[in-house]
Amino acid sequence: MNCDGQSSTFPWHRLPRELQLNVLSLLAHFGQLAKCAAVCRDWQEYFENILFRKITVHQEDLARLGEISPCRTERIRHLWLRIELLPYDCLRCHHFGRQDPTKNSSIFEEALRTLFGVLHSWKARNPSHPNSGLTLELSVHSPSDSHHEFQNLSFDDDDNGKEADDVCIVDDPNHDWLGGRRSFQPTAWAVTQVFGGVLGMLNFTPLGFHWPAPVVKHLLVRRQTRRGFGYASLRHLMNCLPGLEAVTFEFWRTNFRFDQYGWDRDFLELLRLHLPKHIKRLAFFEDFDEDIDSIFTGQMFFNGEFVRTPNRALGASLAALQNQQSLCVSFIVDAYDFFEALHHRLRDGAWRNLTHFSMTSILLQSQTTASEVQRLLMMAAFAACRFPSLEVMELWYGRREEACLFRFSRSRDGTFKISRSGTWELPLSSEVVKAWSNLCNLRGGSLMAQDLERIDHRQIRSHGDAIHHLGLMSDVVHPTSLRQIRREAQHYGPHPR
C-alpha cells in the first residue's frame, strides 16, 4: 500500500482515519520508524512526532542539534544532554591518570554554553501547542565511573519501564568483584572519585554566557549524575530558564560534614533568591547509599553521619513557597520542620493550588515514640487545612529493613481515606483520626481509615525497595532512578552495612 494508491489494492487516502491510525500505531511498534517516515507526508508527520519526541545528545552532537529545522525542533518534548568527562584511573589501574576537576568543569561549562546557544534560538511554544513544554535533562559522568570499583552503576535510560531480569554478573577480582557481588567494601578514595574527587563540584563562570531558553519548561537532573552542580552553576541555570514551571532534581548527600553544611547553605540561598516564582512543581530527592555511608561514619577526617540530619532551615524555606501544585521532597528536609514553619506563617492562600504533597520524616521509624509520631500526624492534619485542593499527601520514610507510609487521599467521587503501610505498626490515636475527620467534614465528605498493610522487613534492602513496596507517587523519584537504586542494592556483598 502506498499513499497515492497507484500500486495498492485500496488507496490509503480512502481509508477511514481511525483505521489509518490503527495501521500507523501498529507500524510504530514493529516497523522501522525512519523508513516509515519517508513514505509520504502524512506518514512523515506521524512518525517524526515519535522519532523526535525524545532526543539524546552528547556534547559532540550539539552542533548538529543546531541544524535541525524549526518544524522538527517543535516536535521535541524531551532533550537529554549527556555530558561525558575524561576517563581516570583507580589505585590499581594505570592508563589515564587522576581526575582533573578544572578540566571537568571546563568540559561542563563548554557543553552548557553550546547547548544554550542552540536553545536560545528555539522559540517559546504556545501553551495550546501539544508539545508546549520542553523537558531539558542534564547528566554528567565519566566512562571510568563504572569501570573500576563501581561496576554496578548504570548511566542509561530504561524507557521501556521493565525491571532488569537479574543483576549483571561481574567477575573482576582486581576490583573486588566476584560472582556479581562486591567481596569487599570500596575504598574511601574510590568513592570520592565516582563523586568527582574531593573538589569535584561542577562549576562555571557565570559571565561565560547568558542566553535565555524560554522554551524549557521542565529541568530534570537524575541521581545517576553523582557529581554535584556548584551553586554558581545552579544559579545560572535558573536565571537562563525564565519559562521554567517544574524542577526535578535528584542529588547525592555528601560524606564530608563540612561539605554538607556548605551544600545546604548554598541550596537554601538558591531556594530563597533564585528559584523562579512561577514554578508549579518541585521534586527534590537526596540520594544515599548505606554501604558507602558506613565507610565514612565516625572517621574524624570525614566526620560523616550514617543517617542524615534533615536541615530545618531548608524546611522553613520550602514552607515559604507559593502557588505550588506538587511538592515532593525526600531526605534533605523533615516534614515536621516544614509543618512547624508553615504553622507560623500567615494564612495568605499561598498553598491553595497544591494537589500532591510527599515528604519524608525521620520520625517515621520504629524506634520513635508513639507520642512523637502522633504529633507529626496531627501537624499534618492542621497543615492540610491550608491545602484546599489537596488530593494526595504522603508522609514516609525508608532505608534498609525500614519502611513506613501515612497517606491521605481524596478520590474522584469525593471520598477521603487515610491508609498506612510499613514494616512496623504505625498507630493512629483517636485525636489523630478526629483531626483528619474534621478536615473531611469541612470539605463535605467523610473519612475512611484503612487497616495497616504490613511489609516484611526482609524485602527492604534499600530506600529504593521501601519506595517500591510503599507504592509512593511517581513524582517522588524518577522511575528509572528507582530501578537503578534497587538494582545497585542487589550487588551488596556479605560485609556489614
Cell numbers placing 360: 519524608
Same domain, 233 and 305: yes
Same domain, 44 and 174: no
Look at residue 334 and tell me if it is in a domain. Answer: no
Same domain, 109 and 141: yes
What pLDDT score was predicted for residue 164? 47
Look at residue 33 and tell me if it is in a domain. Answer: yes
Same domain, 47 and 120: no
CA–CA separation, 183 vs 203, rounded Å? 36
Look at residue 369 and tell me if it is in a domain. Answer: no
What are the pLDDT tens digits along the chain (497 aa)?
Answer: 555 555 556 777 777 778 767 776 777 676 676 666 666 776 667 676 777 889 999 999 999 998 888 888 888 999 999 999 998 887 777 666 777 888 998 999 999 999 999 999 898 776 666 656 899 999 999 988 877 778 777 777 765 545 444 445 677 666 667 777 776 777 787 888 888 866 567 877 765 667 899 999 999 999 999 999 988 899 999 999 999 999 999 999 987 777 788 889 999 999 999 998 899 999 999 999 998 888 877 665 566 678 888 999 999 999 999 999 999 999 999 999 999 999 999 888 899 999 999 999 999 999 999 999 999 999 999 999 999 999 999 999 999 999 999 999 998 888 899 999 999 999 899 999 999 999 999 998 889 999 999 999 999 999 999 999 999 999 999 999 999 999 888 766 544 44
Main-chain phi, psi angles of 254, to 5 degrees: -100, 155
Q: Containing H/E element for 480?
A: helix 479-489
Same domain, 190 and 219: yes
Largest CA distance in the chain: 80
Q: Which DSSP letter does residue 270 get?
A: I
Q: Which of 21, 36, 51 is the last residue of a domain?
A: 51
What pLDDT score was predicted for residue 149? 76
Cell numbers placing 232: 554558581
pLDDT, tens only, 417-469:
999 999 999 989 999 999 999 999 999 888 999 999 999 999 999 999 999 99
Helices (H), 66-148: 70-73, 101-119
Torsion over CA: 354, 358, 361, 366 (sign)? positive
Tell me, rounded to whole angstroms, the distance of Cα 422 from its chain centroid.
23
Cβ-contact 112, 89 below 8 angstroms = no
Full residue range of the structural domain in which residue 199 is found = 54-309
Q: Which of 277, 309, 341 is the last residue of a domain?
A: 309
Q: Which of 258, 292, 309 is the last residue of a domain?
A: 309
Same domain, 19 and 151: no
What pLDDT score was predicted for residue 404? 98
DSSP for 229-271, please give it. BPHHHHHHHHHT-TT--EEEEEEE--SSHHHHHHHHHHHHHII
Same domain, 71 and 25: no
Residue among 271, 184, 291, 276 nearest 231 (CA): 271
Cβ-contact 366, 425 below 8 angstroms = no
Look at residue 77 and tell me if it is in a domain. Answer: yes
How many domains, in total, are found in the chain?
A: 2
Same domain, 185 and 169: yes
What pLDDT score was predicted for residue 166? 46
Q: Angle CA(381)–CA(403)–CA(339) in degrees, nearest 5?
A: 25
Look at residue 470 and tell me if it is in a domain. Answer: no
Look at residue 338 and tell me if it is in a domain. Answer: no
Same domain, 19 and 70: no
Cell numbers placing 334: 523533615
Look at residue 211 and tell me if it is in a domain. Answer: yes
Same domain, 161 and 220: yes
Look at residue 152 and tell me if it is in a domain. Answer: yes
Same domain, 85 and 159: yes
Half-sphere exposure of residue 270, counting CA atoms within 13 Å on the CB side? 19
Same domain, 159 and 288: yes
